[in-house]
Amino acid sequence: MAFKPRIESKELKILRILNTRMELTADEKKHYFNLKKGYEGEVQFDLLTEQLQNKCYILNDLLLKAGNTSFQNDTVILFQETIHLFEVKNYEYDLIFKTNRLESFSGKEYQNPLDQLNRNTLLLRQLLQNMGYNIPIKGYVIFINPEFTLYQSPPNEPIIHPTQLKKFMKKLNSQPSKLSNKHKLLAEKLVSLHQVESTYTVLPTYSFERMRKGLTCEICNSFEVSISVSGGKMSCNDCGSEEEVESAILRCVEEIKLLFPDKKITTNCVFEWCGGAVSKKKINRLLTKKFKRMGQGKYSYYVSE
């Protein structure tokens, strides 16, 4: 179990809803899919680090600041003698390694992840030194996607290719490591320094009125869902997954809260967001059960308890 688990960023959550409920521009879509793919790759890597049996502290998705410079670390693992820093890349299309960049076969340029890794290593070292720690840092770029090939990859750089991952994790697992209270304190300190919200997020403009309304599938985001005769279950006509209607409504409430933090949660607005698929009576009952009611009658709204 990770000492600091990875959670989906607010930006990714919001973009997923926007992509489902409105038409994003080509650039916005591309940005969303890149974020989504990056996150999925990191989650894939988490599945591997979770299997480590030796003593270590795993800190996922750590946004730190050294001086005035922020730096995002996909995975940081504290062992007894070293700190391992990982930059995870989920490219699926093959790329060619060039001195200061990666390039696709059509000539499109990508940032060299080694540069990013070196920058992060430098900043983390600086931060640790300022905190009075002098622990060696080992950094690696992980190419997680099994279908990816990096051509002309220099063998002496700390790059782990998909075909090397299994062996690499085995090696990581075999290094002896004992942890003391000192390590725990450092892990806690780093988590406490994590910057919660990145300030440079630019979201597409959106409004409640212009968003497509309706219940959506939890798994594939499709609007093609049917509610059972009894009204308790919802099933997706596209992927076949099933969900309690109540849980689908509560997801709608979470969507409204995330997208419109200033909006009051009322029976009417949830009814509208659900596209009229469930009765106001049912929504009202659910909101009363799960939230705290404020105000009276027509003007009542609901807040988290």
Q: By CB under 5 A, name the binding residues for Zn ion.
A: 217, 219-220, 222, 236, 238-239
Parallel/antiparallel/unpaired status of strands 95-98 and 150-151: parallel
Q: In the bound complex, what is the minimum distance in angstroms from residue 238's beta carbon to Zn ion? A: 5
Q: In the bound complex, what is the minimum distance in angstroms from residue 275's beta carbon to Zn ion? A: 16
- Shorter beta-carbon distance to Zn ion: residue 129 or 226: 226
Distance CA 143, CA 165 (A): 9
- Shorter beta-carbon distance to Zn ion: residue 141 or 236: 236
Q: In the bound complex, what is the minimum distance in angstroms from residue 90's beta carbon to Zn ion? A: 23
- Shorter beta-carbon distance to Zn ion: residue 7 or 239: 239
Amino acid at 244: E
- Shorter beta-carbon distance to Zn ion: residue 73 or 216: 216
Q: In the bound complex, what is the minimum distance in angstroms from residue 67's beta carbon to Zn ion? A: 46
Q: In the bound complex, what is the minimum distance in angstroms from residue 240's beta carbon to Zn ion? A: 7
- Shorter beta-carbon distance to Zn ion: residue 70 or 222: 222
- Shorter beta-carbon distance to Zn ion: residue 238 or 244: 238
Q: In the bound complex, what is the minimum distance in angstroms from residue 5's beta carbon to Zn ion? A: 26
Q: Are 287 and 302 in contact (CB under 8 A)?
A: yes
- Shorter beta-carbon distance to Zn ion: residue 64 or 278: 278
The 3 state secondary structure assigned to the chain is CCCECCCCCHHHHHHHHHHHHCCCCHHHHHHHHHHHHHHHHHHHHHHHHCCCCCCCEEEEEEEEEECCEEEEEEEEEECCCCEEEEEEECCCCCEEEECCEEECCCCCEEECHHHHHHHHHHHHHHHHHHCCCCCCEEEEEEECCCCCCEECCCCCCCEECHHHHHHHHHHHHHCCCCCCHHHHHHHHHHHHCCCCCCCCCCCCCCCCCCCCCCCCCCCCCCCCEEECCCCCEEEECCCCCEEEHHHHHHHHHHHHHHHCCCCCECHHHHHHHCCCCCCHHHHHHHHHHHCEEECCHHHCEEECC
Q: In the bound complex, what is the minimum distance in angstroms from residue 9's beta carbon to Zn ion? A: 23
- Shorter beta-carbon distance to Zn ion: residue 239 or 303: 239
Q: Is 146 exposed, middle or buried (0-12, 13-18, 19+ CB in 10 A)?
A: exposed
Distance CA 201, CA 136 (A): 33
Q: In the bound complex, what is the minimum distance in angstroms from residue 217's beta carbon to Zn ion? A: 3
